[in-house]
Amino acid sequence: MAKRLMFEKPLGMRDTLPFFYNQKKQARELLTEEISNFGYMFMDTPILEYYETVGEASATLDQQLFKLLDQQGHSLVLRPDMTAPIARVAASQLKRAEFPLRLAYDGPVFRAQQTEGGKPAQFEQVGTELIGDHSSYGDAEVIALLIRSLQRAGLQDFQITIGHVGYVRCFFKEILGDDDPALTEELMSYLYRKNHVGYQEAVKALPLNEEAKRALMGLLKLRGEDEVFDQSKSLARNQECLQAINELKQLYKILKQYQVEQYVSFDLNLISHMDYYTGILFEGYAPNLGSLLCNGGRYDQLLPSFQLNASATGFAIHLERLVEALAKQSNGDERIGILVDDDTFADGLKQAQDLRQEGKSVLLQHVDQVPDLQQFKAELVEAIDLTTGGGHDA
Amino acid sequence: MMRKPLTIAMPKGRIFEEAAELMKQAGYDLLSNQEESRKLILEFPEQNLRIMMAKPMDVVTYVEYGTADIGIAGKDVLLEQDRDVYEVLDLGISPCYIAVAGLPNQPLSKIAPKIATKYPKVASDYFREQGEQIEIIPLNGSIEIAPLIGLADRIVDIVSTGRTLKENGLVEYEKIVGITSRLIVNPVSYRLKSKEIDEMVNQLSEVVGEDYV
């Protein structure tokens, strides 16, 4: 291996220069303010943990853990996420505290990268854990808080997709039975990788009747708005599945009360790489950002592995990615334009006002005053042409 | 209505022709400005599409990083690179397979057999599954030379007709996996542009006769 040059850093490690530092600081402050307003208490845990405890409890792949030895020869890890350390604290020092616990954190986590650039090995997570509340109100609070925090940080356009691991498991149980757990795992791993081709091939090769295969294929279609709840009923009907769907329905109802339902959609075949999730789980995406912005969900197995019998749910926001998404979003030049003529002015005005209400930047323009329609439309992120000629008369 | 165009990374060369034909049957005409064939980015504003012409091996990279929303990539590349993209449809085009080949009647060397290939991951995964420890010699092309000049015991390579093997006096030992081109999608685009993407996937699946349910 070549001798390291003076300026080189380990793979995936980055410097935070003053400009980016300030952007991060600003976003972090807004997020933590909103989280505090929901009554969550911030805490911190050590960077180093034992491999045997936090390292094994975390769902991070072994090859992604940074490992080292202490003076006594114990294996240590740089914490790969914050959920496992907080579970450790909740199950020990905070065991006698008043439950439900509302805890929050903000700090660096570490995941070793195998490949090339674009993926940091150290990044900052801001997140929450709600421990000891297993109700839908708990699930909804965490998702609503996530949405409110992102809004507070200034993010305008994003989407939270919600799924239910419990649903997927009992769905497979109804159709495939209990005899072959390896098969269920195989199908779940196709779903996790969103390898629909592999999933469909595997399903086709199964010795099942047509109806069962159709149901398995139909699972891929269960995504969209709340209509998926009804669609799901034609595929699997056992008690556990219905229970899971009811949980999602209840969640949706409460999210509507929080008035955040426009940010959520559902995907009943969503599966996360964090395999400690057991119930409702979610992922968040923002435009112009190639990868996940945030994720979270309900986990019932993690706390028992630290000898505390409790259910918990939480989210984590990838702070650097949030800053990137904020930097990329409309800084005033992403405008929607509505073209009108005398007949459609009233209609255009109403649409413009509705869109402005949603926080969009909208201009309303009478078509007679535009010298070059094509040029005009090219400057806009979206052009809504309400003129009778549909723009072709120019 | 104008929205940001859907960006598709397409492999240059032979697969492009086949893929463009499929797209055409699905209602997306990508052949209309072929005269600009040196251009790497082609715009189709009336269909709200943007095409990026890429080396087949690189399509997956563009899609993983989100610079393209969708891509058309061979299963061989997906297997070799193991990237974070969604594989949503088997387009069934450019069918071929990856196979182990070598000189006839030549048993695999007992000590550190050497395998020449441009698919190091596929090759080592395969031999590991067979309980065989091998050494990989990575090559970028004309893999068939390796056994002829004694560089390797076997090669692992794409076979479509078998003609190249035959003309170089090589025989196929085992078939590893069948390959076709797949439609792949960036995970974020899959969510945020789900309407346009679902429409395209549905149209294409009708064309290729794959019931996407």
- What's the gap in Å between the CA of B86 and the closest CA on chain A? 5
Question: What tokens were used for B200?
Answer: 């395209």
Order of strands, sheet of B6-11, starting from the edge strand that comes earlier in the sequence: B41-44, B49-54, B6-11, B70-74, B181-185, B86-90
Do A101 and A168 fall into the same domain?
no
Inform me whether the C-beta atom of residue B190 falls under 8 Å from chain A C-beta atoms: yes
Distance CA A200, CA A187 (A): 9
Q: Any idea what the CATH number is for the domain that residue A83 is in?
A: 3.30.930.10
Q: How far is CA A129 from the centre of its chain?
A: 15
Query: Has residue A301 been placed in a domain?
Result: no
The DSSP-derived string for A292-319 is: --EEEEEESSTTGGGT----EEEEEEEH
Lowest mean pLDDT among A111-115, A387-391, B161-165: A387-391
- Mean pLDDT calculated for residue range B108-128: 92
Full residue range of the structural domain in which residue B203 is found: 6-94+180-208
- Mean pLDDT calculated for residue range A155-179: 90
Q: Which of A159, A200, A385 sits opposite B191 (nearest CB)?
A: A159
- Hey, CA dihedral for A114, A118, A123, A128, is it positive or negative? negative
User: Is the separation of the CB atoms in B40 and B53 below 8 Å?
Assistant: yes
- Mean pLDDT calculated for residue range A254-262: 96
**Mean pLDDT for all residues in chain B:** 89
Contact assignment for A291 to B187 by CB distance below 8 Å: yes
Do A27 and A74 fall into the same domain?
yes
Distance CA A297, CA A139 (A): 8
Pairing of β A75-78 and β B135-138: unpaired
Partners of B95 on chain A (C-beta within 8 Å) are none
Give buried/exposed letters for A296-307 (b at 16+ CB in 10 A, else e).
bbbbbebbeebe
User: Is the separation of the CB atoms in B22 and B93 below 8 Å?
Assistant: yes
Full residue range of the structural domain in which residue A367 is found: 336-385
Do B136 and B188 fall into the same domain?
no
Question: What tokens were used for B24?
Answer: 């055409």
Distance CA A226, CA A232 (A): 11
Query: Has residue B129 been placed in a domain?
Result: yes
pLDDT at residue A117 in the model: 64
Q: Which of A196, A234, A376, A384 is the mutation pick for testing B, counting most B CBs within 10 A?
A: A196
Inform me whether the C-beta atom of residue A253 falls under 8 Å from chain B C-beta atoms: no
Contact assignment for B191 to A292 by CB distance below 8 Å: no
- Mean pLDDT calculated for residue range A119-129: 93
pLDDT at residue A180 in the model: 82
Contact assignment for A196 to B182 by CB distance below 8 Å: no
Give the number of beta-carbon pairs within 8 Å between A and B. 72
Do A91 and A30 fall into the same domain?
yes
Pairing of β A223-224 and β B41-44: unpaired
3-class DSSP assignment, residue B107? coil
Do B75 and B174 fall into the same domain?
no
- Mean pLDDT calculated for residue range B185-200: 92
Tell me the CA distances in angstroms from A117 to A11, A195, B32, one per residue in order.
Answer: 8, 24, 36
φ, ψ for residue B185 (rounded to 5)? -135, 140
pLDDT tens sequence across A180-204: 888 888 999 899 888 999 999 999 9
pLDDT grade for B210, boundaries at 50, 70 and 90: low
pLDDT for A330 beyond 70: no
pLDDT grade for A393, boundaries at 50, 70 and 90: very low
* N-term to C-term CA, chain A: 65
**Structurally, how many domains does chain B consist of?**
2
Inform me whether the C-beta atom of residue A113 falls under 8 Å from chain B C-beta atoms: no
**Structurally, how many domains does chain A consist of?**
3
pLDDT tens sequence across B84-113: 899 999 999 989 999 999 999 888 888 889
Query: Has residue B155 been placed in a domain?
Result: yes
Contact assignment for B213 to A218 by CB distance below 8 Å: yes
Inform me whether the C-beta atom of residue A196 falls under 8 Å from chain B C-beta atoms: yes
Partners of B89 on chain A (C-beta within 8 Å) are 196-197
Do B153 and B116 fall into the same domain?
yes
Do B71 and B35 fall into the same domain?
yes
pLDDT tens sequence across A332-351: 567 889 999 999 999 999 99
Q: Which residue of chain B comes nearest to A293, CA vs CA?
A: B188
Contact assignment for A381 to B4 by CB distance below 8 Å: yes
Alpha helix stretches (DSSP H) within chain A: 18-37, 56-57, 83-91, 136-152, 165-176, 181-192, 196-204, 210-218, 227-233, 239-257, 319-328, 345-357, 373-378
Do B90 and B119 fall into the same domain?
no
DSSP state of A11: T
Do B137 and B173 fall into the same domain?
yes
User: Is the separation of the CB atoms in A248 and A161 below 8 Å?
Assistant: no
Distance CA B60, CA B62 (A): 6
Q: Which of B1, B2, B80 is the mutation pick for testing A, counting most A CBs within 10 A?
A: B2
Q: Any idea what the CATH number is for the domain that residue B125 is in?
A: 3.40.190.10
Partners of A198 on chain B (C-beta within 8 Å) are 87
Do B172 and B119 fall into the same domain?
yes
**Location of structure tokens 């294409």:** B204
What is the ipTM metric for this complex? 0.79
pLDDT at residue A8 in the model: 86
- What's the gap in Å between the CA of A390 and the closest CA on chain B? 10
Inform me whether the C-beta atom of residue B4 falls under 8 Å from chain A C-beta atoms: yes
Do A123 and A94 fall into the same domain?
yes
- Mean pLDDT calculated for residue range A229-253: 89
pLDDT at residue A389 in the model: 65
Percent of chain A residues topping a pLDDT of 90: 54
Query: Has residue A215 been placed in a domain?
Result: yes
Query: Has residue A378 been placed in a domain?
Result: yes
Inform me whether the C-beta atom of residue B187 falls under 8 Å from chain A C-beta atoms: yes
Do A318 and A268 fall into the same domain?
no
pLDDT at residue B2 in the model: 46
Residue A84, Cβ density class (10 Å: 0-12 exposed, 13-18 middle, ≥19 buried): buried
φ, ψ for residue A42 (rounded to 5)? -80, 145
Query: Has residue B1 been placed in a domain?
Result: no
pLDDT for A370 beyond 60: yes
- What's the gap in Å between the CA of A122 and the closest CA on chain B? 19
- Mean pLDDT calculated for residue range A236-264: 93
pLDDT at residue B170 in the model: 95
Inform me whether the C-beta atom of residue B84 falls under 8 Å from chain A C-beta atoms: yes
φ, ψ for residue B180 (rounded to 5)? -140, 175
Q: Which of B76, B82, B66, B63 is nearest to B9 (CA)?
A: B63
Query: Has residue A300 been placed in a domain?
Result: no
Do B90 and B185 fall into the same domain?
yes
Greatest alpha-carbon pair distance for chain B in Å reads 66
pLDDT for B32 beyond 80: no
